[in-house]
A and B are shown apart, each in its own frame.
Chain A
Protein backbone atom coordinates (compact mmCIF):
# COMPACT_ATOMS: atom_id res chain seq x y z
CA UNK A 1 0.00 0.00 0.00
CA UNK A 2 2.65 2.63 0.86
CA UNK A 3 4.54 1.88 -2.35
CA UNK A 4 1.32 2.63 -4.23
CA UNK A 5 1.05 5.98 -2.47
CA UNK A 6 4.50 6.93 -3.61
CA UNK A 7 3.57 6.19 -7.21
CA UNK A 8 0.40 8.27 -6.92
CA UNK A 9 2.36 11.22 -5.57
CA UNK A 10 4.98 10.91 -8.29
CA UNK A 11 2.22 11.06 -10.89
CA UNK A 12 0.73 14.17 -9.28
CA UNK A 13 4.08 15.93 -9.24
CA UNK A 14 4.52 15.21 -12.92
CA UNK A 15 1.05 16.61 -13.65
CA UNK A 16 1.70 19.79 -11.65
CA UNK A 17 5.02 20.18 -13.43
CA UNK A 18 3.41 20.05 -16.85
CA UNK A 19 0.77 22.59 -15.78
CA UNK A 20 3.58 24.77 -14.52
CA UNK A 21 5.23 24.62 -17.92
CA UNK A 22 2.04 25.96 -19.48
CA UNK A 23 1.57 28.76 -16.96
CA UNK A 24 5.22 29.78 -17.30
CA UNK A 25 4.87 29.93 -21.09
CA UNK A 26 1.70 32.02 -20.77
CA UNK A 27 3.46 34.35 -18.35
CA UNK A 28 6.29 34.91 -20.84
CA UNK A 29 3.92 35.46 -23.74
CA UNK A 30 1.87 37.95 -21.72
CA UNK A 31 4.90 39.95 -20.70
CA UNK A 32 6.11 40.23 -24.28
CA UNK A 33 2.64 41.41 -25.29
CA UNK A 34 2.57 44.07 -22.56
CA UNK A 35 5.48 45.81 -24.24
CA UNK A 36 3.78 45.77 -27.62
CA UNK A 37 0.49 46.96 -26.14
CA UNK A 38 2.21 49.87 -24.42
CA UNK A 39 3.85 50.86 -27.68
CA UNK A 40 0.45 50.80 -29.38
CA UNK A 41 -0.94 53.14 -26.73
CA UNK A 42 1.95 55.54 -27.22
CA UNK A 43 1.54 55.49 -31.01
CA UNK A 44 -2.16 56.28 -30.88
CA UNK A 45 -1.84 58.99 -28.23
CA UNK A 46 -1.13 62.05 -30.46
CA UNK A 47 -4.23 61.37 -32.54
CA UNK A 48 -6.64 61.04 -29.63
CA UNK A 49 -5.07 64.00 -27.83
CA UNK A 50 -5.51 66.27 -30.86
CA UNK A 51 -9.09 64.99 -31.26
CA UNK A 52 -9.80 65.94 -27.67
CA UNK A 53 -8.18 69.29 -28.32
CA UNK A 54 -10.52 70.02 -31.23
CA UNK A 55 -13.53 68.97 -29.15
CA UNK A 56 -12.39 71.30 -26.38
CA UNK A 57 -11.99 74.20 -28.81
CA UNK A 58 -15.50 73.60 -30.09
CA UNK A 59 -16.89 73.43 -26.58
CA UNK A 60 -16.12 77.12 -26.09
CA UNK A 61 -18.53 78.19 -28.82
CA UNK A 62 -22.17 78.85 -27.92
CA UNK A 63 -23.39 77.03 -31.06
CA UNK A 64 -21.70 73.83 -30.01
CA UNK A 65 -22.76 74.15 -26.41
CA UNK A 66 -26.39 74.10 -27.44
CA UNK A 67 -25.73 70.99 -29.59
CA UNK A 68 -27.09 67.80 -28.05
CA UNK A 69 -23.58 66.37 -27.73
CA UNK A 70 -22.91 68.96 -25.04
CA UNK A 71 -26.41 69.87 -23.88
CA UNK A 72 -27.89 66.38 -23.85
CA UNK A 73 -30.77 65.20 -25.98
CA UNK A 74 -33.02 62.18 -25.83
CA UNK A 75 -33.77 59.93 -22.91
CA UNK A 76 -32.19 56.69 -24.13
CA UNK A 77 -28.85 55.60 -22.78
CA UNK A 78 -26.15 53.54 -24.44
CA UNK A 79 -23.43 51.70 -22.52
CA UNK A 80 -20.32 50.29 -24.21
CA UNK A 81 -18.56 47.60 -22.18
CA UNK A 82 -15.02 46.57 -23.06
CA UNK A 83 -14.22 43.15 -21.60
CA UNK A 84 -11.71 40.49 -22.54
CA UNK A 85 -12.01 37.51 -24.84
CA UNK A 86 -10.09 35.10 -22.63
CA UNK A 87 -9.86 34.28 -18.99
CA UNK A 88 -6.86 33.17 -16.90
CA UNK A 89 -6.26 36.81 -16.17
CA UNK A 90 -7.06 37.18 -12.51
CA UNK A 91 -9.67 39.78 -11.67
CA UNK A 92 -9.47 41.54 -15.05
CA UNK A 93 -12.85 40.54 -16.45
CA UNK A 94 -14.49 40.38 -13.05
CA UNK A 95 -13.76 43.96 -12.10
CA UNK A 96 -14.72 45.53 -15.41
CA UNK A 97 -17.96 43.54 -15.52
CA UNK A 98 -18.73 44.45 -11.92
CA UNK A 99 -18.28 48.12 -12.81
CA UNK A 100 -20.60 47.56 -15.78
CA UNK A 101 -23.25 45.92 -13.61
CA UNK A 102 -23.08 48.79 -11.13
CA UNK A 103 -23.50 51.35 -13.89
CA UNK A 104 -26.39 49.44 -15.48
CA UNK A 105 -28.12 49.30 -12.11
CA UNK A 106 -27.83 53.06 -11.57
CA UNK A 107 -28.91 53.85 -15.12
CA UNK A 108 -31.92 51.55 -15.01
CA UNK A 109 -33.62 53.50 -12.25
CA UNK A 110 -37.19 53.91 -13.42
CA UNK A 111 -38.37 52.52 -16.71
CA UNK A 112 -36.18 51.04 -19.41
CA UNK A 113 -32.61 49.99 -18.94
CA UNK A 114 -29.83 51.21 -21.18
CA UNK A 115 -28.83 49.73 -24.52
CA UNK A 116 -25.73 47.56 -24.05
CA UNK A 117 -22.95 47.18 -26.59
CA UNK A 118 -20.60 44.42 -25.40
CA UNK A 119 -17.05 43.91 -26.66
CA UNK A 120 -15.21 40.72 -25.70
CA UNK A 121 -16.37 37.14 -25.36
CA UNK A 122 -16.29 37.31 -21.57
CA UNK A 123 -18.52 40.39 -21.50
CA UNK A 124 -21.00 38.84 -23.92
CA UNK A 125 -21.12 35.63 -21.89
CA UNK A 126 -21.57 37.52 -18.65
CA UNK A 127 -24.57 39.52 -19.87
CA UNK A 128 -26.08 36.47 -21.49
CA UNK A 129 -25.83 34.63 -18.18
CA UNK A 130 -27.31 37.55 -16.25
CA UNK A 131 -30.21 37.80 -18.67
CA UNK A 132 -29.16 41.31 -19.68
CA UNK A 133 -30.09 41.96 -23.33
CA UNK A 134 -27.16 42.96 -25.50
CA UNK A 135 -27.91 45.09 -28.55
CA UNK A 136 -24.59 44.63 -30.33
CA UNK A 137 -21.65 42.41 -29.53
CA UNK A 138 -18.12 42.06 -30.81
CA UNK A 139 -15.67 39.27 -30.18
CA UNK A 140 -12.05 38.51 -30.91
CA UNK A 141 -10.78 42.07 -31.05
CA UNK A 142 -9.61 42.54 -27.48
CA UNK A 143 -6.16 40.95 -27.70
CA UNK A 144 -4.61 43.25 -30.23
CA UNK A 145 -7.16 45.91 -31.20
CA UNK A 146 -6.88 47.58 -34.58
CA UNK A 147 -8.31 50.97 -35.42
CA UNK A 148 -10.81 49.25 -37.73
CA UNK A 149 -12.18 47.40 -34.68
CA UNK A 150 -12.90 50.71 -32.96
CA UNK A 151 -14.52 51.95 -36.16
CA UNK A 152 -16.78 48.90 -36.24
CA UNK A 153 -17.88 49.50 -32.65
CA UNK A 154 -18.55 53.18 -33.33
CA UNK A 155 -20.50 52.30 -36.48
CA UNK A 156 -22.77 50.11 -34.36
CA UNK A 157 -23.16 52.79 -31.70
CA UNK A 158 -23.81 55.47 -34.34
CA UNK A 159 -26.93 53.63 -35.45
CA UNK A 160 -28.39 54.38 -32.03
CA UNK A 161 -27.02 57.92 -31.89
CA UNK A 162 -28.46 58.83 -35.28
CA UNK A 163 -31.95 57.94 -34.15
CA UNK A 164 -31.81 61.12 -32.08
CA UNK A 165 -33.33 59.50 -29.02
CA UNK A 166 -30.04 58.92 -27.23
CA UNK A 167 -29.08 61.34 -24.49
CA UNK A 168 -26.22 59.57 -22.80
CA UNK A 169 -23.33 57.40 -23.88
CA UNK A 170 -21.19 55.62 -21.31
CA UNK A 171 -18.03 53.58 -21.61
CA UNK A 172 -16.93 50.92 -19.14
CA UNK A 173 -13.33 49.82 -19.59
CA UNK A 174 -10.07 49.16 -17.81
CA UNK A 175 -7.76 52.15 -17.70
CA UNK A 176 -4.06 51.45 -17.99
CA UNK A 177 -2.63 53.94 -15.54
CA UNK A 178 0.82 52.38 -15.32
CA UNK A 179 2.48 48.97 -15.29
CA UNK A 180 1.55 48.61 -11.65
CA UNK A 181 -1.90 50.13 -11.69
CA UNK A 182 -4.96 49.42 -13.81
CA UNK A 183 -8.49 50.32 -12.88
CA UNK A 184 -11.90 49.30 -14.17
CA UNK A 185 -13.82 52.47 -14.68
CA UNK A 186 -17.13 53.72 -16.02
CA UNK A 187 -17.18 57.15 -17.58
CA UNK A 188 -19.64 59.23 -19.52
CA UNK A 189 -18.64 60.15 -23.05
CA UNK A 190 -21.81 62.01 -24.09
CA UNK A 191 -22.96 64.60 -23.11
CA UNK A 192 -19.41 65.87 -23.23
CA UNK A 193 -18.33 67.70 -20.13
CA UNK A 194 -18.27 71.24 -21.53
CA UNK A 195 -15.56 73.53 -20.27
CA UNK A 196 -15.79 77.26 -20.05
CA UNK A 197 -12.76 79.38 -20.52
CA UNK A 198 -12.85 83.14 -20.49
CA UNK A 199 -9.77 83.80 -22.55
CA UNK A 200 -10.36 81.04 -25.07
CA UNK A 201 -8.69 81.47 -28.45
CA UNK A 202 -11.19 82.68 -31.04
CA UNK A 203 -11.17 79.98 -33.70
CA UNK A 204 -12.61 80.29 -37.14
CA UNK A 205 -14.79 77.25 -37.85
CA UNK A 206 -15.54 76.08 -41.32
CA UNK A 207 -18.29 74.94 -41.73
CA UNK A 208 -19.98 76.17 -38.53
CA UNK A 209 -19.30 74.61 -35.12
CA UNK A 210 -22.51 72.57 -35.15
CA UNK A 211 -21.74 70.99 -38.55
CA UNK A 212 -18.17 70.27 -37.56
CA UNK A 213 -19.42 68.69 -34.37
CA UNK A 214 -21.77 66.40 -36.33
CA UNK A 215 -18.83 65.15 -38.36
CA UNK A 216 -16.42 65.17 -35.47
CA UNK A 217 -18.52 63.11 -33.06
CA UNK A 218 -17.99 59.68 -34.69
CA UNK A 219 -14.30 60.41 -35.37
CA UNK A 220 -13.77 61.52 -31.81
CA UNK A 221 -15.61 58.46 -30.48
CA UNK A 222 -13.39 56.23 -32.62
CA UNK A 223 -10.32 57.83 -31.10
CA UNK A 224 -11.69 57.48 -27.56
CA UNK A 225 -12.79 53.88 -28.01
CA UNK A 226 -9.59 52.92 -29.80
CA UNK A 227 -7.56 54.32 -26.91
CA UNK A 228 -9.79 52.53 -24.41
CA UNK A 229 -9.42 49.25 -26.33
CA UNK A 230 -5.64 49.58 -26.38
CA UNK A 231 -5.54 50.35 -22.67
CA UNK A 232 -7.87 47.47 -21.95
CA UNK A 233 -5.64 45.11 -23.98
CA UNK A 234 -2.52 46.26 -22.13
CA UNK A 235 -4.31 45.83 -18.80
CA UNK A 236 -5.43 42.36 -19.81
CA UNK A 237 -1.89 41.28 -20.60
CA UNK A 238 -0.62 42.72 -17.31
CA UNK A 239 -3.38 40.92 -15.40
CA UNK A 240 -2.66 37.68 -17.23
CA UNK A 241 1.06 37.97 -16.67
CA UNK A 242 0.47 38.54 -12.96
CA UNK A 243 -2.02 35.68 -12.67
CA UNK A 244 0.26 33.27 -14.52
CA UNK A 245 3.24 34.27 -12.41
CA UNK A 246 1.22 33.53 -9.28
CA UNK A 247 0.15 30.20 -10.74
CA UNK A 248 3.74 29.28 -11.58
CA UNK A 249 4.88 30.19 -8.07
CA UNK A 250 2.03 28.21 -6.54
CA UNK A 251 2.96 25.21 -8.66
CA UNK A 252 6.49 25.48 -7.26
CA UNK A 253 5.14 25.43 -3.74
CA UNK A 254 2.82 22.54 -4.50
CA UNK A 255 5.61 20.50 -6.06
CA UNK A 256 7.74 21.06 -2.98
CA UNK A 257 4.96 19.86 -0.66
CA UNK A 258 4.19 16.86 -2.82
CA UNK A 259 7.84 15.90 -3.11
CA UNK A 260 8.16 16.03 0.66
CA UNK A 261 5.11 13.79 1.04
CA UNK A 262 6.45 11.43 -1.60
CA UNK A 263 9.84 11.12 0.12
CA UNK A 264 8.13 10.43 3.40
CA UNK A 265 5.96 7.76 1.77
CA UNK A 266 9.05 6.13 0.31
CA UNK A 267 10.83 6.22 3.64
CA UNK A 268 7.74 4.78 5.30
CA UNK A 269 7.68 1.97 2.79
CA UNK A 270 11.33 1.18 3.46
CA UNK A 271 10.83 1.29 7.22
CA UNK A 272 7.81 -0.98 7.00
CA UNK A 273 9.75 -3.43 4.89
CA UNK A 274 12.61 -3.50 7.38
CA UNK A 275 10.20 -4.00 10.23
CA UNK A 276 8.65 -6.92 8.39
CA UNK A 277 12.02 -8.51 7.75
CA UNK A 278 13.21 -7.92 11.28
CA UNK A 279 9.94 -9.26 12.63
CA UNK A 280 10.11 -12.29 10.36
CA UNK A 281 13.71 -13.04 11.28
CA UNK A 282 12.94 -12.62 14.92
CA UNK A 283 10.19 -15.19 14.60
CA UNK A 284 12.47 -17.55 12.72
CA UNK A 285 15.16 -17.20 15.34
CA UNK A 286 12.74 -18.03 18.11
CA UNK A 287 11.50 -21.06 16.15
CA UNK A 288 15.02 -22.30 15.47
CA UNK A 289 16.19 -21.44 18.97
CA UNK A 290 19.24 -21.43 16.83
CA UNK A 291 22.84 -20.39 16.98
CA UNK A 292 24.02 -18.49 13.92
CA UNK A 293 20.59 -17.23 12.89
CA UNK A 294 21.07 -13.85 14.53
CA UNK A 295 24.29 -13.10 12.63
CA UNK A 296 22.69 -14.07 9.33
CA UNK A 297 19.81 -11.66 9.94
CA UNK A 298 22.07 -8.71 10.37
CA UNK A 299 23.81 -9.35 7.09
CA UNK A 300 20.42 -9.56 5.49
CA UNK A 301 18.97 -6.39 7.00
CA UNK A 302 21.62 -3.70 6.64
CA UNK A 303 21.97 -3.43 2.84
CA UNK A 304 18.21 -2.96 2.50
CA UNK A 305 18.06 -0.15 5.03
CA UNK A 306 20.85 1.96 3.55
Chain B
Protein backbone atom coordinates (compact mmCIF):
# COMPACT_ATOMS: atom_id res chain seq x y z
CA UNK B 1 0.00 0.00 0.00
CA UNK B 2 1.13 3.54 -0.68
CA UNK B 3 2.86 5.23 2.20
CA UNK B 4 3.58 8.78 3.31
CA UNK B 5 6.60 10.13 5.11
CA UNK B 6 5.98 11.08 8.75
CA UNK B 7 8.14 13.29 10.96
CA UNK B 8 7.41 14.08 14.60
CA UNK B 9 9.51 17.13 15.41
CA UNK B 10 10.12 18.79 18.77
CA UNK B 11 12.67 21.39 19.90
CA UNK B 12 14.65 18.58 21.51
CA UNK B 13 15.01 16.82 18.19
CA UNK B 14 13.40 14.62 15.60
CA UNK B 15 11.35 12.17 17.68
CA UNK B 16 10.32 10.00 14.77
CA UNK B 17 10.90 9.91 11.07
CA UNK B 18 9.74 7.20 8.71
CA UNK B 19 7.19 5.92 6.24
CA UNK B 20 3.68 4.95 7.29
CA UNK B 21 0.31 4.16 5.77
CA UNK B 22 -1.74 6.55 7.79
CA UNK B 23 -1.43 9.27 10.44
CA UNK B 24 -4.37 10.06 12.70
CA UNK B 25 -4.43 13.13 14.89
CA UNK B 26 -6.92 15.33 16.68
CA UNK B 27 -7.31 18.68 14.97
CA UNK B 28 -9.30 21.52 16.46
CA UNK B 29 -12.40 20.54 14.50
CA UNK B 30 -12.13 16.81 15.15
CA UNK B 31 -10.01 13.79 14.29
CA UNK B 32 -8.33 13.83 10.93
CA UNK B 33 -6.47 11.04 9.16
CA UNK B 34 -3.84 11.50 6.49
CA UNK B 35 -3.24 8.81 3.90
CA UNK B 36 -0.60 8.87 1.21
CA UNK B 37 -0.71 11.88 -1.13
CA UNK B 38 -3.02 13.93 1.02
CA UNK B 39 -3.57 17.48 -0.22
CA UNK B 40 -1.45 20.24 1.33
CA UNK B 41 -2.84 21.00 4.76
CA UNK B 42 -1.95 23.03 7.84
CA UNK B 43 -3.90 22.61 11.06
CA UNK B 44 -3.66 23.04 14.80
CA UNK B 45 -3.55 20.01 17.08
CA UNK B 46 -5.15 19.31 20.41
CA UNK B 47 -3.26 17.64 23.25
CA UNK B 48 -4.06 14.09 22.24
CA UNK B 49 -2.08 11.08 21.04
CA UNK B 50 -1.03 11.12 17.39
CA UNK B 51 -1.31 7.64 15.84
CA UNK B 52 1.05 6.48 13.15
CA UNK B 53 -0.58 3.41 11.54
CA UNK B 54 1.44 0.64 9.88
CA UNK B 55 4.84 2.26 9.98
CA UNK B 56 7.58 0.69 7.90
CA UNK B 57 9.49 -1.93 9.78
CA UNK B 58 7.70 -1.30 13.05
CA UNK B 59 4.75 -2.57 15.03
CA UNK B 60 1.20 -2.17 13.80
CA UNK B 61 0.85 1.24 15.25
CA UNK B 62 2.94 3.90 16.99
CA UNK B 63 1.48 6.50 19.27
CA UNK B 64 2.92 9.86 20.30
CA UNK B 65 1.58 12.10 23.02
CA UNK B 66 1.72 15.72 21.96
CA UNK B 67 0.87 18.85 23.93
CA UNK B 68 -0.93 20.48 21.03
CA UNK B 69 1.02 22.00 18.23
CA UNK B 70 0.60 21.87 14.48
CA UNK B 71 0.42 19.42 11.64
CA UNK B 72 1.63 20.27 8.18
CA UNK B 73 1.10 18.10 5.13
CA UNK B 74 2.87 18.83 1.88
CA UNK B 75 4.22 16.67 -0.96
CA UNK B 76 3.31 13.36 0.69
CA UNK B 77 5.08 14.39 3.89
CA UNK B 78 3.28 14.75 7.22
CA UNK B 79 5.07 16.87 9.82
CA UNK B 80 3.81 16.94 13.40
CA UNK B 81 5.21 19.94 15.30
CA UNK B 82 4.90 19.94 19.08
CA UNK B 83 6.81 21.74 21.82
CA UNK B 84 6.86 18.49 23.80
CA UNK B 85 6.03 15.01 22.61
CA UNK B 86 6.61 11.54 23.94
CA UNK B 87 6.48 8.14 22.32
CA UNK B 88 4.07 5.76 23.96
CA UNK B 89 5.21 2.19 24.45
Contact = CB atoms under 8 A, between A and B. Distances in A.
Contact of A203 (B13, B29, B41, B69): B41
A92 interface: no
Contacts of B39: 204
B44 A51 contact: no
A56 to B, nearest CB: 11
A204 B40 CA distance: 6
Q: How large is the interface on B (under 10, 10 to 19, 20 to 34, 35 or more residues)?
A: 20 to 34
A222 B40 contact: no
Contact of B7 (A43, A46, A212): A46
A54 B42 contact: yes
A64 to B, nearest CB: 11
B40 A201 contact: yes
B43 A205 contact: yes
A205 B79 contact: no
B72 A54 contact: yes
Nearest to A230: B11
A201 B74 contact: yes
B44 A215 contact: yes
Interface in A217-238: 219, 222-223, 226
Interface string B7-50: 10111111000000000000111001000000111111000000
Interface in A46-90: 46-48, 50-51, 53-54, 57-58
B42 A46 contact: no
A50 B81 contact: yes
Contacts of A48: 11
Interface residues of A, number: 29
A51 B40 CA distance: 16
- Say what secondary structure dominates the interface of chain B: strand
A50 B39 CA distance: 18
A51 B29 contact: no
B74 A151 contact: no
A207 B79 contact: no
Nearest to B39: A204
A204 B70 contact: no
B43 A46 contact: no
B6 to A, nearest CB: 13
A223 B41 contact: no
Interface string A32-51: 00000000000110111011
Interface string B37-74: 00111111000000000000000000000000110101
A57 B32 CA distance: 20
B42 A204 contact: yes
A226 B11 contact: yes
Nearest to B45: A215
B72 A50 contact: yes
A142 B5 CA distance: 36
B29 to A, nearest CB: 6
9 contacts: A44-B11, A46-B14, A51-B81, A54-B70, A150-B11, A203-B41, A206-B29, A211-B44, A216-B44
Interface of A: 43-44, 46-48, 50-51, 53-54, 57-58, 147, 150-151, 201-207, 211-212, 215-216, 219, 222-223, 226
Given A48-B11, A212-B42, 7 more contacts: A46-B13, A50-B7, A54-B81, A57-B42, A203-B40, A216-B70, A223-B11
